[in-house]
Homo-oligomer: A and B are copies of this chain.
Amino acid sequence: MGIKAQKSENKPREKRILEATARLLLRYGYDKMTMSDIAEEAGISKGAIYLHYDSKETLVDALITRQSIAYADDIMTLLEQDMDSWSFVTLYQLAMRLIPRYPLLIGLIRNNKNIFGTYFQRTALDMFHLKRRSRPEFLQLMQQAGVIRADLDLKLAAYTLDYMAYGLLTIEDIIPPEEAPPFEDVVNFFGEILEKTFTPPDGGNKEAGKAILMQLIAAYKAQLVAREETSDKE
């Protein structure tokens, strides 16, 4: 494992391949998008793609990993900006506010067959951290730090966060976006709900909570980066 011929180090080209793939995935979907399409969109030859990735599948794997990292980065950046007004809720609010920047990740979470088609049958989905849900263990750390109400059942809280987030991402199947209130407002109210329901009245030790949080996100990102670096097949 890992002694496969190493891949090209031509980073700019790699980036263009990934960007082309992202565009075409959204436009055509996994099954209709051909490797030739990608090459053309990226302005290179088909063979060049295989200088970077072993297969169509691993290419999409890499794209997803890349976007997950970017998403985590986005969240961390804005979390740091929000240093002063931070609460436990900020993380979830940011996660919702920023996810529209990554329609592919939305497609992943939603199991959008239009976008991913047979890719879902080929790849072990749960390898992606994204597919995993809010972990009660994480909430427990937050609770111990005092930024989540002590009397909250954490499995219930995690489940609630999950279905709210999922509902927010899928409700467009029922309500056309043009009938929806501004997304910004929806996310703000979402945060208000969490604040009123999950946060203890006194607010808890916000600094401690935030420290733990940043640590966890950094660990998560490190995990993603590690996967990106061992992207050669076994």
Contacts and interface: CB of A to CB of B under 8 A. Distances in A.
A126 B131 CA distance: 33
B186 A160 contact: yes
Given A167-B167, A181-B155, A181-B156, A162 B175 contact: yes
B193 A160 contact: yes
Q: Taking the full assembly, how many copies of this chain does it contain?
A: 2
Nearest to A168: B163
A140 to B, nearest CB: 15
A133 B164 CA distance: 17
A190 interface: yes
B186 A162 contact: no
Contact of A164 (B111, B153, B163, B175): B163
Nearest to A198: B193
A118 interface: no
Given A160-B189, A193-B197, A173 B111 contact: yes
A165 interface: yes
Contacts of A171: 159, 162-163, 166-167
Contacts of A40: none
Contact of A197 (B157, B181, B192): B192
Interface in A99-135: 109, 111, 131, 133
A186 B167 CA distance: 15
A196 interface: yes
Interface in A22-67: none
Interface in A141-167: 153, 155-157, 159-160, 162-167
A96 B167 CA distance: 14
A180 interface: yes
Contacts of A186: 156, 159-160, 163
15 contacts: A109-B174, A153-B189, A155-B181, A156-B185, A157-B189, A160-B193, A163-B168, A164-B164, A165-B167, A167-B167, A167-B170, A167-B171, A192-B197, A196-B196, A197-B197
Closest CB pairs A-B (n = 6): A167-B167, A163-B167, A163-B171, A196-B196, A166-B167, A156-B181
